[in-house]
Homo-oligomer: A and B are copies of this chain.
């Protein structure tokens, strides 16, 4: 019966008057934050939200985002963190699919509300958590808190669904990953046991809070009663300033953020010596970038985390002792590390038999952090969790010492700037252009984004299309981060497999020729 709120209760016990959240000028201690959360839960209850109701959060990072997450856990509502980079039709899909009855929203997204709210029939209450004056028709967050007496923690079962984290759909549509309180709490504690966090961290929420990676730190930092600082959007210069100003001790960054930080012209002008634990993950890390990071932050240990939303998310960790220049370390730094405690990780063949060490198969995992399933998708759930194992869809092998090497994303996911982009969804947008005859979307190496979304296109005979026009077309269909950043045109048919599927390995080859180790 682990519950997310137990992490908060512990923080209040061990550090009631210590600073919990710093968001610009707004600073709260843990005792106050817990009171505000109890009031926010009470406010949702008074608005009519029932246990199990879904509550969306569409906002940049802030202390109120943090309070909204915990208020849902407190009242046994299900939070639905929404990707802030989605186009309105996609937001509508997430909110409708999950059936959200309430939505927290901040100033950045108020302008999009007219395109969203009328399209989500279940939505009854919109709560404004921004700093600007509350728009008409919305509930003002601070006024709700002031009016609502704190309610007791509802303390349900650990198996209750705590949140829906949407992840890109291979067939175009996103699907809601149901994570229970147990899933989320154990992920935090497993990660705590596997990495070398400070005993009382000072942490900056640099990645977006809707992402499961930052969510891991949200819960882990809470159980450690950490000081948590919120930056609305990631910015490397601001990040460097915050680290120096607040003596930040622990950080989580996706590789593109690490790249931006360590190559920032101001990186040597700030005192980063407080930073002793840097966790990175969510996409492959180019070797040059991690080497540079180790050089400019010599006081810090580095830990790579690998996982996926369905695993809540951490499956493996590669710790500081594996980051170095010995031949063994150089080899292991190309791996994703070893199973975190609480997970069994194996490499399976298509019949779920373990393959010999060194043989490529599908990375599978089993443990108490395995998702409860996909929201309203029992068949897909049964297939993904078949035989009691979570099937990640990632291809990899394991060495004799249990280090996992990811070689391919079986589901053709592209990870660009830490965001998952599913090629099928992009291909759908590309194909929707009337001039396109045939198209495939792949990830290609990119110095800034790790991977870049690239489309290979054959036009219909006699029709003409250029790169800019096709990209502009895609922007009318899908979020900007999913759109191709480059397009290659060809006049010959795309290579097909015997089963008639486009052989993406053939298309990728020229791009990855010099960087085969980082191919997924």
Contacts and interface: CB of A to CB of B under 8 A. Distances in A.
A306 B158 CA distance: 25
A216 to B, nearest CB: 13
Interface in A366-425: 366-368, 388, 398, 400-402
B367 A6 contact: yes
A399 to B, nearest CB: 10
A2 B319 contact: no
A469 B158 CA distance: 56
A343 B10 contact: yes
Contacts of A182: 368
B155 A13 contact: no
Contact of A6 (B185, B338, B366, B400): B366
B368 A13 contact: no
A127 B319 CA distance: 42
**Is chain A's binding surface mostly helix, strand, loop or mixed?**
mixed
Given A193-B192, A199-B319, A388-B155, A14 B339 contact: yes
A342 interface: yes
A96 interface: no
B223 A6 contact: no
Interface residues of A, number: 42
B402 A341 contact: no
Contacts of A192: 193, 341
A17 interface: yes
Given A199-B321, A344-B9, A388-B155, A14 B189 contact: no
Interface string A290-302: 0000000000000
B158 A368 contact: yes
Nearest to A399: B14
B339 A10 contact: yes
B344 A14 contact: no
Number of copies of this chain in the oligomer?
2
Nearest to A13: B402
B13 A345 contact: yes
Interface string A10-28: 1001111100000000000
Contacts of A158: 368
Contacts of A155: 388
Interface in A427-470: none
A190 interface: yes
A293 to B, nearest CB: 21
A308 to B, nearest CB: 18
Contacts of A223: 341-342
Contacts of A186: 2, 186, 189
B199 A193 contact: no
A346 interface: yes
A1 interface: yes
B368 A15 contact: no
Contacts of A7: 341
Contact of A344 (B13, B188, B341): B13
Contacts of A400: 16-17
Contact of A341 (B189, B339, B342, B388): B189
Given A10-B343, A155-B388, A223-B342, 12 more contacts: A1-B367, A2-B186, A10-B341, A13-B338, A13-B344, A15-B402, A16-B402, A17-B400, A182-B368, A186-B189, A189-B189, A189-B193
8 contacts: A2-B367, A10-B344, A10-B345, A13-B338, A13-B339, A16-B400, A189-B341, A199-B321
